[in-house]
Chain A
Amino acid sequence: MSFASQLLQYAITGVTIGSIYAMVAIGFNIIYNVTEAINFAQGEFVMLGGLVMVFLRVAVNIPVIFSLPLTIMLVTMVGILLDRLAIKPLSKPSVLAMVIATIGASFFIRGAAMMLWGKNPFDLPPFSGRNPISFLGAVVQPQGLWVVGFLLVVVVVLTLFFDRTILGKALRASAVNPSASSLVGINVKHMVLVSFALSAAIGALGGIVITPISLMEYDRGAMLAVKGFSACVLGGIGSFPGAVTGGLLIGLIESLGAGLVSSGYKDVFALLLLLLVLFVRPSGLLGNAEVSKIRKF
């Protein structure tokens, strides 16, 4: 295997994993933009997406075309329940209270998943076979293309949603100024609910597309949440292009670091990069300096 094709292979792997991190980061951003809180149960949405899909696709044998939207709907319901049971009842919804509530929720969801699915990992058949595609001496897993493709879909759909729809605009408004939004008739509590639903849906999609590559088990969420959060901070918290950039960068650094330097320290490289960027630009690569000044934590 020539060095050039090795490099290409690292890049392909990095982009594949990075796309998943980016999806998790986008989920963090949606909730952060509306509530200014970090949802610690974000990784659990990804885990649930994978495991619910396994149940529908493998146990019930529903074809992907139906089981995929069904899974997203079910996990979205979980996101809605999370908001209704853990976030909305908070009398003083401070950022800290919300963070604590989501930490509690993440433990609960993980425990429930362990009860339902047990501790063993599960596999999901890839959407279009397991035959790798050769490409300039490197190989691409067909499922990897699905991962990147779905990330693109998410980015396009979200951009349209926030720019073109009244609901998306209302979400942006409550992110910018909740009290002014209330004055013009936007129900901010309702917007919080929508943000949780959206995040859950995107997290679930991430879980669905990564499970055929990495398998899925009940406690995988925490690791994905940490990586997704790093991606989010690296790109600039609250920024969608930042989330995608951050995710892909962390994926690439991990993969290239593991391949070219040392696989034992690959996670360190990603964190080093994050620290370096934060020293130079506290608001992240594409983050808004104004936003980071009034951050509540």
Chain B
Amino acid sequence: MKANLSVGKGAVCLLAAVVLAIFILIPVVQVSAAEAYKVGAVFSVTGRASFLGDPEKKTAVMLQEEINKKGGINGHLLELVIYDDEGDSTKCALAVRKLISQDKVCAIIGPSLSGLSLAVLPEAEKHKIPLVSCAASYKIVTKNAETGEQWKWVFKTPQSDSMAAEAIYTHMKKHGISKVAIMSGTTGFGASGRSELLRLAPQYGITILADEKYGPKDTDMTAQLTKIKGKAPQAIVNWSIGPTQVVVVRNRQELGMSNIVLYQSHGFGSRKNIELAAGAAEGVYCPLGACNIAEVLPPAHLQKKVTMEYLKAYKAKYNEALSSFGGHAWDALAMVTKALGAVGSDKAKIRDYLENLKGYVGQHGVFNFSPKDHNGLTKEAFQMVVVKNGDWALTD
């Protein structure tokens, strides 16, 4: 009885508060009722690159729900318009045009792939809309490679390949490694990594003894490794995605080359790969973003909190292992949200805000944007990690 009474009282109070609020807010509501902030997203959710687009979409949806649960951005709900480009550049361009002309979004996150991002960035420039790509190539933000001039409206969140190569070379230098063999898959990812490794080698005093390649679907890399074994380098750097990078690890062990240190690219950043290597991955080094290794980061690490929160929330919502690619979408949407909160939905203001954003702690690094740098990361965005007892362990 008493409880009921108190509930009644509470309800009355609540009703009164609601009525009051409505009266006070009426003029405001008329202006901005349902005026949600619309942000567009284009990901390769299905098709050849769904391993990128699928976690990116899931992450973006999760983040949107979290923001709206907290009451949105300064009272505006966040509305996400997501399109799937299926890894196809025509569909991607259509989606971007639709987002600009029909959906009238104030910013776009994505695409997932470098090639597609390069294909649609002229649209963003032409229609003056901020686009935050989730793909890695430095060309996405760089208008002129010589002068380092950046595209005005285009940003990207993933680390560039050059940063991964620098992180690896820095580690080698520290450990007195100078004679190196390179292996790479003949895919866009592999070719890009290979050219960065070759370009940066002289700066770090590294001699490349062998430069071997293999196809993305090859069954066995024993031949390439045998050739490398004959040249006796101190270390091997392998740069590929998919099953081949696991086969390389296994072949190296079979050939008894454990005395030659193996560095993998950041493409190796999944525990699944350690598992598939069936014990052969012990002692393999690779550079990873904080997002990959949230659990093993020390508590004092700047990104510990944000990466752990993301990891827990993602696992709770989707009940699947976190993919670091989703982290790129997290960074993109979180920064756009921050800009919306600070300057509202004006496109030019969002762009200006992002360009001057400093010290933003994200999933893949601490971002410091500037007019000269629309990626905002350095090689510090990668932690050197070694495989120890079937899991990642930090190393220096």
Q: Chain A residues in contact with chain B, CB under 8 A?
A: 1, 3, 6, 9-10, 12-14, 16-17, 20, 119-121, 123, 125, 130, 132, 139, 141, 210, 213-217, 219-220, 222-223, 254-256, 258-260, 263-264, 266-267
Determine if A263 and B229 form an interchain contact, defined as CB atoms under 8 angstroms apart. Answer: no
Given contacts A12-B222, A123-B246, A263-B227, 19 further A-B contacts (CB under 8 A): A6-B226, A9-B226, A13-B226, A17-B220, A121-B242, A121-B276, A213-B247, A214-B219, A215-B243, A215-B247, A217-B242, A219-B217, A223-B215, A223-B217, A258-B223, A260-B227, A263-B214, A263-B224, A264-B186
Determine if B219 and A210 form an interchain contact, defined as CB atoms under 8 angstroms apart. Answer: yes
CB distance from B250 to the nearest CB of A (A): 8
Determine if A1 and B223 form an interchain contact, defined as CB atoms under 8 angstroms apart. Answer: no
Which residues in chain B, 230-278, are within 8 Å of chain A measured between CB atoms? 230, 242-243, 246-247, 254-256, 272, 275-276, 278
Determine if B226 and A10 form an interchain contact, defined as CB atoms under 8 angstroms apart. Answer: yes
Determine if A213 and B256 form an interchain contact, defined as CB atoms under 8 angstroms apart. Answer: no
Docked CA distance A14–B279 (Å): 25
Q: Which of B217, B256, B275 contacts A220 (CB 8 A)?
A: B217
Q: Which of B51, B229, B279 contacts A1 (CB 8 A)?
A: B229
**Known pairs A139-B256, A263-B214; A120 contacts B219 (CB<8 A):** no
Q: Check if B351 is an interface residue, CB within 8 A of chain A.
A: no
Which chain B residues border A267 with CB–CB below 8 Å? Answer: 215
Determine if B254 and A139 form an interchain contact, defined as CB atoms under 8 angstroms apart. Answer: yes
- What does DSSP make chain A's interface, helix, strand, loop or mixed? helix
Q: Which of B51, B212, B242, B256 contacts A263 (CB 8 A)?
A: B212
4 closest A-B pairs by beta carbon, nearest first, are A214-B219, A121-B243, A223-B217, A264-B213
Which chain A residues border B256 with CB–CB below 8 Å? Answer: 132, 139
- The total of Cβ contacts below 8 Å across the A-B interface reads 92
CB distance from B162 to the nearest CB of A (A): 22
Docked CA distance A248–B223 (Å): 15
User: What are 26 inter-chain pairs, A to B, with CB distance below 8 A?
Assistant: A3-B230, A10-B226, A12-B222, A16-B220, A17-B219, A20-B219, A123-B246, A123-B278, A125-B278, A141-B254, A213-B219, A214-B218, A215-B246, A217-B242, A220-B217, A254-B223, A255-B222, A256-B223, A258-B223, A259-B227, A263-B213, A263-B223, A263-B227, A264-B212, A264-B213, A267-B215
Which residues in chain B, 273-329, are within 8 Å of chain A measured between CB atoms? 275-276, 278-279
The residue in A10, A216, A266 that gathers the most chain B C-beta atoms within 10 A of its C-beta is A266
Which chain B residues border A3 with CB–CB below 8 Å? Answer: 230
Which chain A residues border B255 with CB–CB below 8 Å? Answer: 9, 132, 139
**Known pairs A13-B220, A259-B226; A123 contacts B254 (CB<8 A):** no
Determine if B223 and A10 form an interchain contact, defined as CB atoms under 8 angstroms apart. Answer: yes
Q: Which of A1, A17, A121 contacts B246 (CB 8 A)?
A: A121
Residue in chain A with minimal CB distance to B256: A139
CB distance from B153 to the nearest CB of A (A): 33
Residue in chain B with minimal CB distance to A265: B213
Q: Which of B50, B213, B222, B279 contacts A9 (CB 8 A)?
A: B222
Which chain A residues border B215 with CB–CB below 8 Å? Answer: 223, 267
The residue in A13, A16, A17, A223 that gathers the most chain B C-beta atoms within 10 A of its C-beta is A13
Determine if B230 and A1 form an interchain contact, defined as CB atoms under 8 angstroms apart. Answer: yes
Which chain B residues border A255 with CB–CB below 8 Å? Answer: 222-223
